[in-house]
Amino acid sequence: MSLDPVRRLAWDVLQRAERDENLDAALDDALARLPDERDRRFLAELVKGALRWRGRYDHLVRRFSRHDAATPPQIADVLRLGLHQLLGMDRVPDHAAVHQSVALARDVAGPWPAPFVNGLLQSVRRTLDGAPQREEALHALFPDPARDPDGWLSTWWSHPRWLVARWRARYGLAATAELCRCNNLSPPLAVHVLAPADPAAVAAGLAAAGRSARPGDLSPRALLLASEERADLAALLRTRPELIVQDEAVQAACDLLLDGVAGPALDLCAAPGGKTARLRAALAAGDDGSPALLVAADLSASRLRKLQATAKRIDAGPDLVVSADGRAAPFRPGSFATVLLDGPCTGTGVLRRHPEGKWRLGPEAIVASATRLTELARRASLLLAPGGRLLYATCSLEPEENEGVLEAVLAAEPSLAPCPWRADGEWARTWLPQREGADGFFAARLSRRRDAS
């Protein structure tokens, strides 16, 4: 049996991800080489599935391997792809999964790993095929959650052990398992319908064009679409300037954060531009009827180009775009009535969208991110005019990057105070994947006293 080029492309993408390259870019490059839609979908499932379930598959490799030495990275990816075909893709025959994995091993590393790959995959197949209940037999190969809860969470639910240990201490075993389960689901495509377009009318128009669209659960202007290839999404957005891609939890957070905002306003870490578009729509007109000033800043020039492309597509955007590090933003103190800081973070709330992210993180990343976010938030607070609002957000679930940052800023800046968005005094909220069924997100609102100088 000759090697399937799609499987080889999947291995190439995984290897690029191992080198910390951008997964979306690597996957897009590979998808562009496949004219057949079925091949493109197969490739995407191979890559995303192997990354989502990497922890589970690596545990099985350790369990069935007769070698004490660590599996070389190039063969580890071969085995992850093979195990995903055996265990996660019902339409792939077992014999094809094994034979193609052996052929792939020979192609990328020569003849030496072929017997190892064949023997391991065949052992897994025989163990499960001989069991009356396949799922129970698979469970039996993993740690007992009662005796080793973190070992079970990290292997069965495929997350780093250090991360699930943090979450279990905070949420408990059952909620952490549900969080990990949600992270391993393929997320829907959520879009925000910019005013004045009517979400119901937009949904009807999409349905008439053959695209499934249903209202979201967390925000009145959210629509959920069937997941689709990035190229198809780009084509859709070109014809629908009233749509921006934005997760439901982010939309709900923006609904709270942006209520009653005023200009001049600054989006301090603005790219790729979804929240900038929401801020533009929320800003009230000035006294003379003209729109309030909106400035967008970001450190990455390439990401700013994406923001500018979005602004051009929707025919609305910032009045000024600045390439700058937010920690040294080139603006005078007290210049803005609103500063939005959606800070760069570890992204532990969006692992379902970026499955490679959980394997790139370590505990030290949280410490570094919290330090950077505190510096950004301190700088953002200094840019507020008296009475101005700081809108803080991250896609992290980690307290050090959220509550910890706000505690540090409030302690350092006596002129700041929580700014409630609800009558009950709520001014900060975390959206959890296991509770809301959306991305994990944190948002909070502070204000500067009007008598502050």
Which residues are the active-site residues? 395
**Beta strands 189-193 and 222-225, pairing class:** antiparallel
Q: How far apart are CA 440 and CA 256, in angstroms?
A: 16
DSSP string, 254-274: HHHHTTT--SSEEETT-TT-H
Using CA atoms of 11, 56, 361, 113 in order, give the dihedral in degrees to the nearest 10: -40
Q: Concatenated DSSP letters for 26-39?
A: HHHHHHTT---HHH
> Which residue has tokens 């979201």?
216
Token representation of residue 214: 């249903």
192 pairs with which residues across the strands?
222, 244
Q: Which residues pair with 285 in a beta bridge?
A: 291
Packing angle, helices 37-52 and 5-18, rounded to 10: 40
Q: Closest Cα to residue 119, out of 101, 131, 144?
A: 101
Instruction: Locate 226 and state its tokens.
Output: 């069937």
Query: Any bridge partners for residue 214, and if so which?
Result: 224
The DSSP letter of residue 385 is E
Contact 277, 291 (CB under 8 A): no
Q: Could you give the angle at which helices 23-31 and 230-239 cross, rounded to 10 degrees?
A: 90
| 50 CB-near residues (< 8 Å, 6+ apart) | 10, 14, 57, 77, 80, 81, 84
Distance CA 410, CA 377 (A): 10
Return the closest-CA partner of residue 205 out of 217, 193, 216. 193
